[in-house]
């Protein structure tokens, strides 16, 4: 335990002095020798490694990358499940001075060809010489005739078999690029965000500062991370893995598939530790509500759960209330949940609720329906958030506008895409694409500019329709809804809602579609063009659970949506439906 003179709380030395992520890992390995990263299996058994072991493995992997001819600045794609192999591959690239890019592994992005096409596109666009993944990807690539993927695959075992090569330590400094983070792809093709070492190190310090755990008092236990989030997602990578590495906190990693199969696995892991920090998107808390996890946890104690960050998608007040109510008998306190806002272009965190008094809501200005949205907190350390009009002029508090961000965490640009970089960075600020308003210096998000539905002169956010449909269908966690608009010709823009369901009986499906239409008509005042019912899991989502509305719209329009029901548009279907511009 680190102590200052006279018992003064001190920072972990690695968080304050490191220039690069490898510096931080080395300092933690030296100064906090008992801290470790554990990967849990489905039974909760842990395969743990100290940070000293993580560092040795990273350096060994770097020497094998050098043997392959990987040099400084080269891109290494990592498409593996949560494992020590993943950590070795990613940190090994950092140790070599290469740029790791974490990609969803096979099975997490969809089946065969779609996954291979995405990998092939990334290899080409990023000019990546190596793809670290499972051998099955090579076999599938050969079967589909995708030579670039097949030729560049290297499995962890194959890398282990290489003779290590000597190489000069990387020359990259604090302001050099550390890694590339793919955008979520919820509104388009994923882009590669350039994250600098300085930005990553600052952002994890800013997160700890906002949570009140940047400094540890003498005799106080260090925080302990617990996460099921995919490591290719920025909340899992920066918010969990890098935060723990930099601050010298131990970390328990749960494979995402284990959480999806049994959400209580996550909460059981939290209950076994002290002073736990564990983030998750809204759908994870909703999944726990739907699966009635309290009934599966026995006498588990959640009172030592210090921080439950919630972000990556809109925070639903009803989900928060239901989760808190259900888990209160296990010691869970509402103040544990800390709504936050972040994005890959901001490294991760932009705002975090510092009050720890439980999620708070406020009515949306100018919305006559009385709709309320959750507060996502105040800007993190050294970060400025503005809400502006179309010309970039600052708007007064309680006025909805476009959210812009400035600070040390803002990205260095998109790799190989100067045009997109110029659109995202204006006058030193990040144009986030999100809408919101400020109140008492805190941010409230109302939606995304790109997802606006303009229906008969009224602006609606897709999640307003989705939440309503999910309430009717009993989803929101493992079963979701997705809303988008189509061009209805003379009828103007028309709204479509796709709903996941476990029902298969035609009469049940007809009732569900009718109920969704009725609820949205009553609550939103909107007549839907179509309600499409699909099996659970058929709506495309990002790694953090966000609905990929653009991809969903494309599948609907070109007939690839696997419907359980017959198409029943509310009005006569136009001759041609297409996406509105």
> Dihedral sign, CA of 143, 129, 99, 162?
positive
Q: How far apart are CA 509 and CA 80, in angstroms?
A: 38
C-alpha of 207 from chain center: 15
DSSP string for residues in 403-423: EEEESTTS---BTT-HHHHHH
Q: Roughly how many angstroms between the first and final C-alpha of the chain, as a whole number?
A: 57
Given a contact cutoff of 8 angstroms between Cβ atoms, the answer to whether 516 and 495 are in contact is no
Q: How far apart are CA 436 and CA 421, in angstroms?
A: 22
Number of residues written out for the chain: 581
Cβ-Cβ contacts under 8 Å for 533 (sequence gap 6 or more): 498, 499, 500, 501, 503, 509, 512, 513, 563, 564, 565
Given a contact cutoff of 8 angstroms between Cβ atoms, the answer to whether 501 and 533 are in contact is yes
Do the strands 361-363 and 372-374 form a parallel or antiparallel pair, or are they unpaired? antiparallel
Residue 1: CB atoms within 10 Å: 12
Phi/psi at 294 (5° precision): -55, -35
* DSSP letter, residue 252: E
Q: How far apart are CA 162 and CA 157, in angstroms?
A: 9
Q: How far apart are CA 461 and CA 446, in angstroms?
A: 8
How high is the pLDDT of residue 109?
Answer: 43
- Nearest Cα neighbor of 533 from 512, 518, 507, 559 is 512
Report the b/e string of 417-446 with b at 16+ CB within 10 A: eeeebeebbeeebbbbbbbbbbeeebbbbb
Cβ-Cβ contacts under 8 Å for 508 (sequence gap 6 or more): none
Q: How far apart are CA 423 and CA 145, in angstroms?
A: 36
Residue 294: CB atoms within 10 Å: 21
Q: Using H for helix, E for strand and C for coil, what is the string for 218-285? A: CCCCCCEEEECCCCCCHHHHHHHHHHHHHHCCEEEECCHHHHHHCCHHHHHHHHCCCCEECCECHHHH
Would you state the structure tokens that stand for residue 478, as one six-digit string? 């493992």
Q: How far apart are CA 77 and CA 106, in angstroms?
A: 13
Domains of the chain: 454-557 (3.30.300.30)
User: What are residue 181's DSSP bridge partners?
Assistant: 193
Cβ-Cβ contacts under 8 Å for 71 (sequence gap 6 or more): 96, 97, 98
H or E, element range at 244: helix 243-247
Q: How far apart are CA 542 and CA 109, in angstroms?
A: 8
Q: How far apart are CA 348 and CA 544, in angstroms?
A: 13
User: What are residue 532's DSSP bridge partners?
Assistant: 498
Cβ-Cβ contacts under 8 Å for 555 (sequence gap 6 or more): 540, 561
Q: Radius of gyration (Cα) for the chain, nearest Å?
A: 24
Q: How far apart are CA 75 and CA 62, in angstroms?
A: 13
Given a contact cutoff of 8 angstroms between Cβ atoms, the answer to whether 84 and 57 are in contact is yes
How high is the pLDDT of residue 487?
Answer: 78
Would you state the structure tokens that stand for residue 409, as one six-digit string? 């965490």
Given a contact cutoff of 8 angstroms between Cβ atoms, the answer to whether 184 and 450 are in contact is no
Q: What is the residue whose two structure tokens read 């949306």?
A: 364
How high is the pLDDT of residue 567?
Answer: 59
- pLDDT tens for the chain, 581 residues: list them: 333 334 444 455 444 567 999 999 999 999 999 999 999 987 777 899 999 999 999 999 999 999 999 999 999 999 999 999 999 999 999 999 999 999 989 874 444 777 898 899 999 999 999 999 998 999 999 999 999 999 999 999 999 999 999 988 888 888 999 999 998 654 446 799 999 999 999 999 999 999 999 887 878 889 999 999 999 999 999 999 999 999 999 999 999 999 989 999 999 999 999 999 999 988 899 889 989 999 999 999 999 999 999 888 778 888 888 999 999 999 999 999 999 999 999 999 999 999 988 889 999 998 877 888 899 999 999 999 999 999 999 999 999 999 999 999 999 999 999 999 999 999 999 999 999 999 999 999 988 777 777 776 666 778 889 988 998 888 666 779 999 998 776 567 889 999 999 999 999 999 999 999 998 988 777 889 999 999 988 999 876 678 889 889 999 998 899 999 875 554 434 333 444 43
Q: What is the pTM of this model?
A: 0.82
Phi/psi at 331 (5° precision): 95, 5
Would you state the structure tokens that stand for residue 3, as one six-digit string? 């102590």
Residue 18: CB atoms within 10 Å: 22
């Amino acid at each position: 335990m680190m102590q200052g003179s006279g018992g003064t709380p001190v920072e972990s030395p690695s968080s304050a002095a490191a220039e690069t992520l490898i510096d931080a890992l080395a300092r933690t390995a030296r100064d906090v020798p008992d801290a470790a990263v554990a990967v849990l299996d489905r039974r909760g058994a842990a395969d743990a490694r100290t940070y000293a072991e993580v560092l040795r493995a990273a350096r060994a992997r770097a020497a094998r990358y050098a043997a392959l001819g990987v040099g400084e600045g080269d891109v290494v794609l990592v498409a593996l499940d949560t494992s020590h192999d993943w950590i070795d591959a990613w940190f090994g690239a950092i140790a070599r001075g290469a740029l790791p890019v974490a990609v969803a592994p096979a099975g997490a992005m969809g089946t065969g060809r779609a996954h291979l096409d995405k990998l092939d596109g990334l290899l080409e666009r990023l000019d990546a010489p190596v793809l670290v993944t499972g051998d099955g990807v090579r076999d599938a690539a050969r079967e589909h005739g995708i030579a670039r993927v097949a030729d560049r695959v290297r499995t962890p075992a194959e890398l282990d078999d290489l003779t290590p090569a000597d190489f000069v330590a990387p020359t990259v400094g604090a302001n050099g690029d550390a890694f590339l983070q793919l955008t979520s792809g919820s509104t388009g093709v994923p882009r590669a965000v350039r994250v600098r070492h300085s930005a990553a190190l600052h952002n994890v310090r800013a997160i700890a500062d906002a949570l009140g755990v940047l400094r540890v008092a003498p005799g106080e236990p260090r925080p302990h991370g617990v996460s099921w989030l995919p490591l290719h997602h920025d909340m899992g990578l920066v918010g969990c893995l890098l935060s723990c590495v930099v601050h010298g906190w131990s970390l328990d990693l749960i494979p995402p598939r284990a959480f999806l199969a049994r959400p209580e696995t996550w909460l059981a892991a939290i209950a076994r530790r002290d002073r736990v920090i564990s983030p998750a998107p809204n759908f994870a808390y909703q999944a726990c509500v739907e699966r009635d996890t309290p009934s599966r946890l026995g006498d588990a104690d959640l009172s030592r759960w210090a921080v439950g960050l919630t972000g990556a998608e809109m925070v639903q007040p009803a989900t928060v209330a239901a989760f808190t109510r259900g888990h209160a008998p296990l010691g869970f306190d509402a103040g544990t949940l800390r709504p936050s806002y972040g994005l890959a272009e901001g490294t991760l965190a932009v705002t975090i609720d510092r009050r720890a008094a439980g999620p708070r809501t406020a009515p949306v200005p100018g919305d006559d329906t009385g709709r309320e949205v959750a507060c996502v907190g105040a800007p993190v350390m050294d970060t400025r958030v503005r809400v502006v009009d179309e010309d970039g002029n600052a708007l007064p508090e309680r006025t909805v506008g476009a959210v812009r961000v400035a600070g040390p965490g803002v990205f260095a640009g998109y790799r190989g895409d100067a045009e997109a970089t110029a659109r995202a960075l204006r006058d030193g600020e990040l144009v986030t694409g999100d809408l919101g308003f400020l109140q008492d210096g805190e941010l409230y998000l109302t939606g995304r500019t790109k997802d606006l539905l303009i229906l008969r002169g009224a602006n609606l956010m897709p999640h307003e329709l989705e939440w309503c449909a999910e309430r009717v269908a009993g989803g929101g966690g493992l079963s979701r809804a997705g809303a988008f608009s189509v061009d209805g010709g003379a009828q103007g823009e028309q709204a479509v809602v796709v709903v996941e369901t476990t029902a298969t009986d035609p009469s049940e499906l007809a009732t569900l579609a009718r109920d969704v239409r009725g609820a949205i008509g009553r609550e939103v005042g909107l007549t839907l063009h179509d309600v499409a019912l699909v099996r659970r899991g058929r709506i495309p989502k990002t790694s953090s659970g966000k609905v990929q509305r653009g991809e969903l719209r494309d599948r609907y329009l070109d007939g690839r949506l696997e419907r359980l029901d017959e198409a029943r548009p509310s009005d006569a279907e136009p001759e041609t439906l297409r996406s509105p511009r």
